Chain A
Amino acid sequence: MRLGNALKLACFGLWANKFRVLSAMMGIVIGLFAVIVLIAIAVGVKDTLLKQMGSLGAEQILVMPGRVLDSANGQKDFLSGITSVPSTLTYEDAKAVEAVPNVKSVIPQLETVSKAVYEEQNVQAVLVGSTHQYSRVQHADLAEGRFFTEEEQQSKKNVIVLGSNIHDALLGKAAEPQSGSTGIPAPQEKTWWQRALDSLMAGTVVSAEEKTLVGQKLTIGEKEYTVIGVLKPNATLGSSTDNNVIMPIETALANTDMKYLNKMIVEANSTEVIDEVDGAVFSAIKQNHKEIDFSVVKQDQMLGAIDNVTVILQVMLLGITAVALFISGTGIMNVMVMSVRERTREIGIRKAIGATTFEIMAQFFFETLLLCVIGGLFGTGLGYAFIELWNQYIEAFTLTLPLWAIQLALGSTVVIGGLFGIYPALKAARMKPSHALRFE
C-alpha cells in the first residue's frame, strides 16, 4: 500500500473526530504562535540594534571618548569594556583628522542639555552642535524647512533645526516630553490619533492646517536663534534626533560653554582604504593627546559587538522554542494515545475487514502528522497576523519575521508530528483484531 490511501484515511479520521482534533491542535497552535512571535521579537530587536548601533556605514569610522578594551576573543568589548572618562576630544582633533589622507569628511558633534523657550512654552532639549553634514550622517530627514548650510556654519549664524518632539512641545501640540533621569525628553512620538485623542480630551479641535515654528525665533540660554527646519520623527533607541536642537558647531562653540566632542564620525573615501584611514585617524588624534583616552571604531567592530549581544538572545530563544515544541509534541502524543484507546473497536473492525498492520500504523501516524502540520499552519498564521497587527499599531519597535522562521516553524511541526506520532501509531498497529473487537 498505498501511502496515499493511508493519507486519505487519516484525513477522514481527522475529519470524523474534528472536535477532538481541535482540542489536540490547540497545544501546537499556541506553541507555534509563541515560536513565531518570539523569533520575530528576537530578530526585531537584533535589527533595531543593528539599525541604531550599526547605522555607521562601512566606509565610516566612529571616534568616541574613553577607551574600548578588547575582550578575550580580541574583539572590542562594547558591553563591559568601555571605560567611562570625560571627553577630551576637541574640534581641533576633528580639524587634524580632516587633514588625514583619504578622509572624505569629518562630522564632529557637541552635546549638552539646555532649555529652549518659545513664547510661553519652554522645554528641555538636547543641544547639538555639528556640521552641515549632520542630517545626512544621522539619517535625519527634514519634515519642513531646510538644514543649515556650510556658509551658515562657517559664519556662526544663529540658526537651528528642531527635532520633532521639541517642535511639537514648543507649539503645545503635545505635553512636554517626560523627563528621564538625565532630564532629557523621552524619544517618543505621538501618532495622529493619539494627538487627536489628546486634543479631544482637552476640549480642543485639531486643525487641519497645523502651525509651524519654521521662521520663528527661540531663546536658548541668553541667545536668540531662528528656526530654519524641523526634522521628521526618528524614534530610534540611543540615537534619536526627536529631542534635539541642532545648530552649527561654530555657533555652539561661540555661544555655549560646550568644548569637548561627544563623538566624531569620519568618512573615508572608500571601504578599500578604511583600515589605512583607521590607523591614520588614531595617530592624528593621538598627537594631540597625552594618553589614549579615546577610541576609534569601525563598522565591523560595532557589528561584531551587536552579534555578541544577539547570540545570547538567540540561545535563549532556541531554548524556549525547544521547550514549547516539546510540550506541544507531548500534548499531541497524549491525545493521540487517548484517541487510539477510544478507537480500539474501530481499529479492530478495520483489521477484521482487511486493514494491514502497516495500514493502521500509517493511518494513525499520518493523523498525528497532519494534526501537527495543520496546527503548525494555524499557529504560524496567527503569529503572522499578530506581527502584522503589532507593526501596524505598536510603534515601540518593529517585529521582523524572516522567511527562515516560517520554514523552521513548519519544519519543526513535521519533525514533532513524525517523532510523537510513532508511539500512538505502533500502539494502534499492534492490537489484535479479536481483542480489539471485544473492547468495551
Chain B
Amino acid sequence: MITLRRVQKAFQTGSSRQDILHSVDLRIDPGEYVAIMGKSGSGKSTLLNILGALDSADSGEYILAGKPVHKMRQSKRTALRNTEIGFVFQQFQLIPNLSVYQNVLLPLTYGRKKLGRKKARVLQLLEEVGLADKKKQKPSRLSGGEKQRAAIARALVNEPSILLADEPTGSLDEATTETILQLFDRVHQQGTTIVVITHDQEVADRAQRVIHLKDGALA
C-alpha cells in the first residue's frame, strides 16, 4: 500500500540547513493500523506531510497503491489527496465559518469521485460519528471531542483508502480520547489503512504496529 524508499527531507533556514528525515525506508500494508511515535522534532509531522502528499521529499521514492507519488505533478497530488487520503489533525482544522455539515461536505465539493448522493453520504457519516443533531452548528459551538468527530467524518466522506492522523487526541481528555479511538477501531475494521502520529502510548497501543522515529530516522 505505502512504500517509502530512502526518503530524505531537509529545511533551509537562512544559511543553515536542517536535516529532518534521513533515508527513511517504510512499508505499510493495505488495511494496516500503524502508530508512529517519537519526540518533538524527530520528523513525525514531516513524515506525515510526505505520506499525505502535502509536501514532497527532497530525494527517495514514495509509492502509494502502486503509484509513484514522488514523480507526480502538483495537480495529481491534489487529486490523490482528495480520493485516497483522509486527514485528521490535532487542532481539528475545521473551517470556522462553515457548519458541521458544510465542513464534512467540503471534500465532496472538490471531489473527483462521482458519489451520486453526496448529501446522504454526509448525513450517514454524521449519524455514525454521533453528530447528526449538530449538523447545522458552527465548529465554535462544539466541544473538542465533537470537533474531532466532525473532522473524522470529513476525512472519511470520500471513502479514502488511508487515514492519516496527526496527534488526533492531543487536545482531548481521557474519555473523549477513548471515543475517538473506538471510532478509529471501527474505521480500521472496515478496511481503511490508518497511520497515527502520537506521543500517547495508550493511542499507540491500539495500533497493530508501532514505528519509532528518532532524529529523522526509523529506530
Contact = CB atoms under 8 A, between A and B. Distances in A.
A10 to B, nearest CB: 12
Contacts of B97: 16-17
Nearest to B92: A349
Given A345-B93, A434-B49, A354 B111 contact: yes
Interface in B76-133: 78-79, 81-83, 87, 89, 93-98, 102, 106-107, 109-112
Interface stretch (A51-59, A206-214, A355-363): A355-363
B54 interface: yes
A355 B95 contact: no
B52 interface: yes
A432 B55 contact: yes
A350 B110 contact: yes
Contacts of B16: none
A437 B89 contact: yes
Contact of A356 (B52, B78, B93, B98): B78
Interface in A61-115: none
Contact of B54 (A5, A350, A356, A433): A433
A353 interface: yes
Contacts of B93: 345, 348-349, 352, 437
A12 B110 CA distance: 14
B78 A354 contact: yes
Contacts of B102: 12
B173 to A, nearest CB: 24
Interface in A402-440: 432-434, 437
B110 A352 contact: no
Interface string A1-45: 000010001001000110000000000000000000000000000
B95 A5 contact: no
A355 B110 contact: yes
A353 B80 CA distance: 9
Given A349-B93, A434-B55, A354 B98 contact: no
B154 A437 contact: no
7 contacts: A346-B95, A350-B110, A351-B54, A352-B54, A354-B81, A356-B79, A437-B93
Q: Which 3 A-B pairs have the closest CB atoms?
A: A354-B82, A16-B97, A354-B110
Given A350-B110, A434-B54, A16 B98 contact: yes
Contacts of B75: 356-357
B46 to A, nearest CB: 9
Interface in A207-251: none
Interface in A301-342: none
A353 B82 CA distance: 5
Contact of A9 (B49, B55, B109, B154): B109
A17 B97 CA distance: 7
B132 to A, nearest CB: 21
B85 to A, nearest CB: 9
Contacts of B154: 353
B74 interface: yes
Contacts of B52: 352
B112 to A, nearest CB: 8
Nearest to B111: A354
B87 A12 contact: no
Which one of A16, A351, A352, A359 has the greatest number of beta carbons of chain B within 10 Å? A352
A354 B74 contact: no
Nearest to A18: B97
A149 B59 CA distance: 106
Given A349-B94, A353-B87, A354-B158, 18 more contacts: A5-B109, A9-B109, A12-B102, A17-B97, A349-B95, A350-B95, A352-B52, A352-B54, A353-B81, A353-B106, A354-B78, A354-B79, A355-B78, A356-B79, A356-B110, A357-B74, A357-B75, A437-B54
B81 A12 contact: no
A55 B24 CA distance: 90
A15 to B, nearest CB: 8
Contacts of A434: 49, 54-55
Nearest to B52: A352
A9 B98 CA distance: 11
Contact of A359 (B54, B74, B110): B110
A193 to B, nearest CB: 50
Contacts of A433: 54
B95 to A, nearest CB: 5
A421 B97 CA distance: 22
Nearest to A351: B78
Nearest to A349: B93
Contacts of B96: 346
Nearest to B103: A349
Nearest to B97: A16
